[in-house]
Structure 1
Amino acid sequence: MTEIFDAIKKSAIEIKNLIETGDTGKSTHENSTGDTQLKLDIASDEIIENIFKEVSSIKAIVSEEQEEIISLNKDGKYLIAYDPLDGSSLADVNLSVGSIFGIYENEFSGKNIVASVYVVYGPRVELVIATTDVKMYRLINNKFKFMQEIKLNEKGKLNAPGSTQNCWAPYHKKMIDDIFQDGYRLRYSGGMVPDLHQILLKGGGLFSYPGTTDRPKGKLRQLFEVFPFAFVYEKANGQAIDGFDRVLDVETTHIHDTSPCFFGSNEEINRVKKVYKENARK
């Protein structure tokens, strides 16, 4: 798998340069879920695909920006689902964005994820690899240098509540309000990667993107966003659930399926489970 990690590092350096010099405007295309693609999305997708084509251990890839799985090497072992530039609309206002990679075996499903990687493009470029543990690297002089292992505390201090609040269920809103009443600090940039990265580095908290009245199955995509970060959080001694159950056990029926998701340290996730068990299925 080392050659895959090296390929991701190579793509991250190219995408960093693209963000610094590229066009942040909209393209004339839409992706598979109907979102207008930014030119950065398309260019980042092309960078990653071209680099992955050179890796013999990759059997197939699928991008959030494309509608179909692309076969690469019939004798390859790994399947990779990736979001080439998550939060790309934040780039034109100079906020942090990221790339997310889920590495799977046999088929694209939460139960078959074996590793994940994400990259944060901010004031510094940082890359996190989750296998049996979670390690963070920083780009220094065009090379990624190991910085630290990441472990979550049992309880955190941050609360990052996602989605449109007027579409929240009343019990979800009360839960979020109660968490703030308990002294948690608001952290929400509108970018999944930087917000989840911040919770990891600060030791814990809660990131939530629930099912809502307008999106009962949530907005975030399982293969490209939810499962890779669920793997990271579990390996960092935290949890990731859909409100009730471990999110990596959620069934995938289509490559662009979405899921409600909650990521965090154990105390916060156990709190979510209690609230949802008592309210959501009534």
Structure 2
Amino acid sequence: MVAREPGTTPFQIDLRRHLRENEEDRDLTRVICEIATASRYVIHSIRTGELGVAGTSNLYGEEQLALDVLSDRILRKRLVHSGVVSSIASEESSEILSVNLTGKYAVVYDPLDGSSLVDVNLAVGTIVGIYRGEDILQRGRNLVAALYILYGPRCTLVYSTGNGVHEFAMNALMEYTLVQENIRMKPSGTIYSPGGQRNKYTPGVEKLVQALEAKGSKLRYSGGFVPDINQILIKGQGLFLYPHLQDKPEGKLRLLYELNPMAFLIEQAGGAASNGRERILDIDPKAIDHREPVFIGSKEDVAMAEKFVQEFG
């Protein structure tokens, strides 16, 4: 990281300065900062907005909440406003939006992941992936940046541009200031977050869970992808899984909007992400609604998941 003047504290370093110090592309900096600005309006909407249904469905046939639609609109507006975005794909839309033929970056996002948890006051988040060019359907390994924003007791932003993973917190002025740089994962963890119904797990996944329990791992699952990944990343250890199920072999989570950005961040911190047979970031997306199983977190735990899945199915 950049050497700073003696006496400089993390809380004096805001997001824009951090990007500038690391000599990030000016247009990429603009995109990331526009997303950070959008999150101010999203968190305000979560705290004060309508929690009912919007009367519409997304491309998966799922009923949209008013907050989903509003969050999508806020993010889309800021990305268009940036002037440097070529195309946009949102989990809440069935179409790829062409924005600017001269734009440098394609952006994929889930505007409010876990929105159904808002009415019971659990943490939710925004997930974003950024590619160079205008092609949305790229492998995750081509990402130039990924980030998520967690709307919890604190509002935090975690990002990577391929040079480590860094955490920021929103202050009283609604500006993001640095909390920690270069977050690192331990090889093995002591917590696990298992999604899906356990009675529908395949034999390999059931053996994995038994092995995790046998080594003393504690179950920590909120039902929200962003807070569960944040827990593993900030604690520096653990495993999140939403596996293939007996009646859902393709898994639940979307490769484009959820898995690729999170896999990019976890790998940048020294972890791993797999569908049980191959690296998440190496999977070719077949469509914008492509889903995959996922095992993501500490490297040794992910390797153990792959071993059991490949041996027992």
Q: TM-score, normalised by structure 1?
A: 0.97
> Among 137, 143, 152, which residue is 1:113 paired with?
143
Which SS does the other structure have where 2:88 is aligned? strand
Counterpart in the other structure of 1:62: 89
Q: What residue ranges of structure 1 are gaps of 5+ in the alignment?
A: none
The aligned amino acid for 2:209 is I
1:133 matches 2:133: no
1:181 is matched with: 214
Shift >2 Å, 4+ stretches: 105-108
Is 1:229 the equivalent of 2:262?
yes
Q: Which has the higher Rg, Structure 1 or Structure 2?
A: 2
In the alignment, which residue of structure 1 is the partner of 2:175? 143
Aligned 8 A contact 2:111 2:127 in 1: yes
How far off is 1:277 after superposition? 2.1
Q: Structure 2 counterpart of 1:137, which letter?
A: F
Q: Separation in 1 of the partners of 2:210 and 2:121? A: 30
- 1:49 is matched with 76
Higher strand proportion, which one? 1
Distance, in Å, in 2 between the alignment partners of 1:156 and 1:8 is 31
CA offset at residue 112 of structure 1? 2.1
Task: Report if aligned partners of 2:263, 2:272 keep a CA contact under 8 Å in 1.
Answer: yes
**CA distance, structure 2, for counterparts of residue 207 and residue 28 of structure 1:** 32
* 2:189 is aligned with 1:156: yes
Measured after TM superposition, the shift of residue 268 of structure 1 is: 0.5
Q: Post-superposition shift, 1:212?
A: 1.1
Letter in 1 for 2:169: R
Deviations 1:213-264 (A, max 9, x none): 2221111001100000000011000000110111111111101111111111
TM-score by length of 2: 0.88
Aligned 1:165-204 pairs, distance under 5 A:
165-204=198-237
Cα root mean square deviation, aligned: 1.0
Question: Gaps spanning 5+ residues in structure 2: where?
Answer: 1-27
In the TM superposition, residue 156 of structure 1 has moved relative to its aligned partner by 1.4
What percent of counterpart residues are identical?
41
Aligned with residue 259 of structure 1, among 292, 299, 305? 292
Aligned to 2:41: 14
Contact 2:107–2:129 (8 Å) recurs in 1: yes
Q: How many residues align?
A: 280
Q: Are the aligned partners of 2:232 and 2:238 in contact in 1 as well (CA < 8 Å)?
A: yes
Q: CA deviation at 1:181?
A: 2.0
* 1:18 alignment partner, SS class: helix
Deviations 1:137-163 (A, max 9, x none): 000021100110211111111100111
